[in-house]
Amino acid sequence: MDTPLPSAETIRAALAAAERIGPLGDDGTDDDADAEAGAGTPGESEFRVDTADVARTADAVWREIERGNNAKPWLFRHGGLLVRLARDDTGRLAPQLWSVDRARHDLARLVPWVRWSKTRKKFQPAYPGAVVVRDVLARHDPSAPALDQVVSCPTFASDGTLWLETGYCQATRLFHDLDGLDLPTVPDVPSDSQIAAARERIADLIGDFPFVSEAERTNAIAALLVPFVRPMLGSLPLFVIEKPEPGSGGTLLAEVLATVATGQPVPPVVEAEDEGEWRKRLMAQLRGAPQIIFIDNVKQRLASTSLACALTAQVVEDRVLGVSETVRLPVRAMVMCTGNNIQLADEMVRRCVRVRLDPGCPRPWQRTGFRHENLREFVRENRSGLVWAALVLVRSWVAAGMPPAERLPVLGGFERFCAVLAGVLEHAGFQGFLANAGELAAVADSETEAWRAFVAAWWCRLASGPSTVAELLPVAAEAGIDLGRSGNERAERVRLGQGLSRRRDRVFDVEVEPGYPFVVRLAAAGKRHGGVMGWKLVLMNS
């Protein structure tokens, strides 16, 4: 009996499948065996796991990924690595590395996979093969969109556009997780009464914190606004919330500011013991694309090259534990720290915004009579209104044409930060933004003060003539310069010489007598006394 010819529909399905999945693979079967089976052609939406043409199958998988990812992104590139978003135990949405196991899990649910059964003579469901999955992951230029940060609040783009939807924003490269935020309508042009109501809500929120000046209070409001205008800003300084003793409200203020932006307290990070640990902790934090990094209860002198670099850089590059290659991570998180009279290294002072609290009473943790006895609960219950207030203040500035502030503070390396927040705060009626920057520089770093005292004593005793390290050693010791406490004069001379070398050509403003300040430069004076380096002070003004 003649074998009936296949129908036109069967032929089209077979051609489509051949184009989609390629030839048979490593199980020893062939196309003739499939044809004899009568059911040897997989459906158009099915993928073969036993194909030898891995490249074609991987490309077909990527087309399926792109089809859904273009409509509703779920797979992203973060730091050059493929990641997907998943919720942790706290409910926060964060990027997860798209490992082989996670990719197999997702691809098994993305499309049906089949394998040819020689015994049953038909295709049966199968799990994606490791070879194909690894080839998908190895694609050097995936089409997945770039992800810089996962945020839990609406944000303003650099042109002033407000993003109010849950999902990915291509313009800002942010994923907005706004589920559960029942936000009142934000007017396009807020009225005077709406602006006043927004100001009152924010003032009520922080009204019980004992700020030592208007500048400290306005700086705290700036920290509250940062997450909402983050795409408009460049690099962000470190917000230092300090106080004279425990129980003054520093940690509570940090938690309140973070909860308004994220909907929940940010897990604190403990300060690192050394530079290597600082680098590892910062890279681990940045891999999670957080809105806020919170370093609580700083006790040691805050001096970290890695932290200083992260504050001024847009991208940091390093090798990450668990990844066998170098990654480049975007730096978008706002960093806050708290502590009692925090000492800052000179490299950190210019990268900081201070918010100082001082209750002015003994045992401040026993205070009562607050507006909101449980402020954490108040923020959680009223978060939508507080977010609305922040958005109204920014929207009113945008609607006015983003006017620049009349008083523009200067913080080198953070020009966009200063310009945007000074404009928003001044337009909203808040004064004193960064007005305490000079005071921070004057009191934050004990090491700098010791060197300033050393330079003043040096000028009084040895004037501007060249001096050796040996001649300067007793002057440095009396001024409080850290010489290592070794008791070994040779080691102390080496340490002082290294300190002088690091500060070569640095300018110091000193005051030998009240009302008579002067400026000198610490300069090398060439070789003297058998090749020993000499040092001198050069008067810059009279």
Instruction: Using pLDDT thresholds of 50, 70 and 90, give the confidence band for residue 36.
Output: very low
Instruction: Using pLDDT thresholds of 50, 70 and 90, give the confidence band for residue 18.
Output: very low
Tokens 């087309």 sit on residue: 63
Mean pLDDT score, 377-402:
96
Is the pLDDT score of 27 beyond 50? no
Is the pLDDT score of 533 beyond 60? yes
The whole-number pLDDT of residue 427 equals: 96
The whole-number pLDDT of residue 515 equals: 66
CA distance 292 to 334: 5
Mean pLDDT score, 467-481:
87
Is the pLDDT score of 490 beyond 80? yes
Mean pLDDT score, 190-198:
96
Mean pLDDT score, 67-88:
90
Instruction: Using pLDDT thresholds of 50, 70 and 90, give the confidence band for residue 146.
Output: very high
CA distance 173 to 8: 47
Radius of gyration in angstroms for the set of CA atoms belonging to the chain, rounded to a whole number? 31
Q: Which of these ranges, 43-57, 201-215, 391-405, has the smallest mean pLDDT?
A: 43-57
The whole-number pLDDT of residue 117 equals: 85
The whole-number pLDDT of residue 311 equals: 92
CA distance 259 to 245: 24
Tokens 């609290």 sit on residue: 357
Of 238, 229, 408, the C-alpha closest to 339 is 238
Mean pLDDT score, 410-427:
94
Q: What's the Cα-to-Cα distance from 521 to each of 99, 228, 442, 541, rounded to whole Å?
A: 55, 43, 18, 10
The whole-number pLDDT of residue 481 equals: 84
Mean pLDDT score, 130-158:
90
Neighbour tally for 230: CB within 10 Å: 23
Mean pLDDT score, 271-282:
90
CA distance 409 to 8: 75
Question: Which tokens hold the place of 388?
Answer: 């609305």
* Mean pLDDT rounded to a whole number for the chain: 85
Residue 21 · residue 47 · CB < 8 Å = yes
Mean pLDDT score, 458-463:
81
Which of residues 6 and 448 earns the better pLDDT score?
448
Instruction: Using pLDDT thresholds of 50, 70 and 90, give the confidence band for residue 322.
Output: low
DSSP-derived secondary structure for 439-477:
HHHHHS-HHHHHHHHHHHHHHHHHTTS-EEHHHHHHHHH
